[in-house]
Amino acid sequence: MEKKQRENWGSRIGFIMAAAGSAVGLGNIWRFPYLAGENGGSAFILIYLGFVLVIGLSIMISEFAVGRRTELAAVGAYKKINKNWTFAGVLGVLSAFFIMGFYPVVGGWALAYVLKSVTGLLADAAAIGDTFGAFITSSIEPVIWMLIFLAMNIVIVAKGIAGGIEKAGKVLMPTLFVLLILIAARSVTLPGAGAGLDFLFKPDFSVVTGATFLAALGQAFFSLSLGMGCMITYGSYLNKSENLPQNALIVSVLDTGVALLAGIAIFPALFAFGMEPAVGAGLVFVVVPQIFAAMGGIGTLFSAIFFIALTVAALTSSVSLLEVVVAYLIDQRGWERKKSVYTAGGIMTVTGILSSLSMGLMSGFTILGVGIFDFFDILTDKIFLAIGGLLLAVFVGWFMDKQELEDELTNGGTIKFGLFNIWYNLVKYVIPVAIAIVAFAGITSIAQKPLMFFGLGIIAVLAIFSKKL
Ligand code: PFF
């Protein structure tokens, strides 16, 4: 293979925006609040924060290091360092592919809500919940929105990821942030909001089980875009003079901040409106419009801007997922970019349609006990990402050279990384054991056991055929 200078991010801020753009998405604003709601609130949030700090941050540093060291996307990076580990990269590609099986469906909902915001959704606040239910279970409308959302991804990734997406993110991510602060401020000042703050900040550990830990761990990986090679790929474009641990810290703090802010925006209002915290996947689409509806005319405008920003946040994440699949086809299979994008996008069109229909028309159809949307969601979030993270930690801790890692993380000794030894021991010993325990406890207490074993089976098959991948 010819050695050419690898393309770099336009600027440091460009990289942080892209990596934070990948991390901040539906995971923070749609998923984190409803998972917290279903898992009892603050106890889940505390466990989540613990995992981000002890596991997520270290894994992100590791992914950046592997990517920048090898200057290759996930599969190539593993392969270059140790051929037997190719499967861990391929598992990441499969995860990206599966997440794209359901992510565009929710992205489509966000997009639809831009239009719905300005066409009367807020006029009848009491009907907002029913409207959402009717919308996602119908057979045509959500499918069309999903297809539009997916098409945006295809267009952006076909052009190459740096240009447009970097620019859109620079404007719209800060917009989203400001809006969330505004919504949170409104939410906490509603009468009766105190119960929501209690729910968020007063831990009730009686509801915690092994499944809670697994949900929190999976969410930490999902939200930080870890365990599937995405940050390896992004790191491979990172300039040699950048401070990797510092970048990882900034991205993690931004991501966690947005998730917490989404929680503070939603739960106080939810309790103020007398709703149940465990309403599930519709949470953000039901509570946020109600907050805006209570604001009168200006609420319509805010609602539209909020869903535009949410769509863009989703888009900056989903393009990174599509890019993982495309980078694999280009780097490892030698395909052209366009052919890779259209082929991957074509298959995602089919999985996206099936996922969307599984909310309504095809709700009776199940695989291993769950609908198609849940199949992709649970398989990735509850097993592939966590195991992907475990594999990465073992790989970095036991199969890479310590000196080489120190070199990479200190830019050849030119910058300081005072916590290097702590990071190294976490990655080598603590994280693999911690993930293994959580995965074991989670799998034994989760309802969807057949699906979990199926997932483990896929990983085993990949590992066995690793050399052929
Ligand atoms: N982190 C994204 C979110 O929170 O919405 C989802 C995601 C993107 C997961 C990229 C994994 C990934 F590689």
pLDDT tens string 425-459: 999 999 999 999 998 888 888 888 889 999 999 99
Q: 184: how many CB neighbours lie within 10 A of its CB? A: 21
Tally the C-alpha atoms within 13 A of residue 53's C-alpha that lie toward its C-beta.
7
Is there an atom of ligand 1 within 6 Å of 218 CB?
A: no
Q: Is 204 helix (H, G, I), strand (E, B) or coil?
A: coil
Please, is 189 exposed, middle or buried when counting C-beta atoms within 10 Å of its C-beta (0-12, 13-18, 19+)? Answer: exposed
| Angle at CA of residue 78, ends 437 and 420, nearest 5° | 65
Q: Is residue 36's pLDDT more than 90?
A: yes
Q: Return the residue matching tokens 């990517």.
A: 67
Sign of the CA dihedral with 98 first, then 104, 109, and 114 last: positive
Cα 119 to averaged position of ligand 1 atoms, centre (Å): 30
| Residue nearest ligand 1's atom 7 by CA | 225
pLDDT of residue 276: 83
Residues 6+ apart with CB under 8 A from 13: 170
Is there an atom of ligand 1 within 6 Å of 95 CB?
A: no
Average pLDDT over residues 149-153: 95
Nearest CA-CA partner of 309 in 183, 189, 186, 196: 183
Residue 316 lies in a domain: no
Cα 108 to averaged position of ligand 1 atoms, centre (Å): 16
Contacts 24+ apart (CB under 8 A), 112-120: 112/141, 112/142, 112/145, 113/285, 113/289, 113/303, 113/307, 113/310, 114/304, 114/307, 114/308, 114/311, 117/289, 117/292, 117/300, 117/303, 117/304, 117/306, 117/307, 118/300, 118/303, 118/304
Residues 6+ apart with CB under 8 A from 93: 74, 75, 228, 229, 324, 325, 328
| Residue nearest ligand 1's atom 10 by CA | 225
Is there an atom of ligand 1 within 6 Å of 220 CB?
A: no
Contact status, residue 58 vs residue 221, Cβ threshold 8 Å: no
Residue 335 lies in a domain: no
Average pLDDT over residues 122-139: 90
Residue 39 lies in a domain: yes
Distances (CA, A) of 59 to 24, 245, 336, 388, 432: 17, 10, 31, 10, 11
| Residue nearest ligand 1's atom 11 by CA | 225
Contact status, residue 36 vs residue 332, Cβ threshold 8 Å: no
pLDDT tens profile 208-255: 988 899 999 999 999 999 999 999 988 988 888 889 999 999 999 999
Nearest CA-CA partner of 78 in 220, 223, 222, 228: 228
Cα 466 to averaged position of ligand 1 atoms, centre (Å): 25
Residue 250 lies in a domain: yes
Pocket test for ligand 1, best of 153, 320, 324, 384 (most atoms within 8 A of CB): 320
pLDDT of residue 166: 67
pLDDT of residue 282: 87
Q: What is the DSSP letter of 333?
A: H
Is there an atom of ligand 1 within 6 Å of 25 CB?
A: yes
Is there an atom of ligand 1 within 6 Å of 26 CB?
A: yes
Is there an atom of ligand 1 within 6 Å of 320 CB?
A: yes
| Residue nearest ligand 1's atom 12 by CA | 225
Q: Is 119 helix (H, G, I), strand (E, B) or coil?
A: coil
Closest atom of ligand 1 to 222 CA is 9
Q: In this structure, what token pair is assigned to residue 208? A: 């915690």
Q: What is the tally of structural domains in the chain?
A: 1
Residue 410 lies in a domain: yes
Nearest CA-CA partner of 268 in 178, 182, 200, 181: 200
Q: What percentage of residues in the chain have a pLDDT greater than 70?
A: 96
What would you report as the CA-atom Rg of the chain, rounded to the nearest whole angstrom?
21
| Residue nearest ligand 1's atom 9 by CA | 225
Is there an atom of ligand 1 within 6 Å of 230 CB?
A: yes
pTM of the predicted model as reported, rounded to 2 decimal places: 0.93
Q: Is residue 2's pLDDT more than 60?
A: no
Q: Which helix (H) or strand (E) holds 206?
A: none
Pocket test for ligand 1, best of 29, 222, 379 (most atoms within 8 A of CB): 222
Q: Is 334 helix (H, G, I), strand (E, B) or coil?
A: coil
Residue 355 lies in a domain: no
Pocket test for ligand 1, best of 91, 221, 223, 258 (most atoms within 8 A of CB): 223
Terminal alpha carbon distance of the chain = 18
Q: Is residue 7's pLDDT more than 70?
A: no
Residue 265 lies in a domain: yes
Residue 41 lies in a domain: yes
pLDDT tens profile 50-69: 999 999 999 999 999 999 99
Task: Show the domain range for 238.
Answer: 12-101+161-283+363-468
Is there an atom of ligand 1 within 6 Å of 225 CB?
A: yes
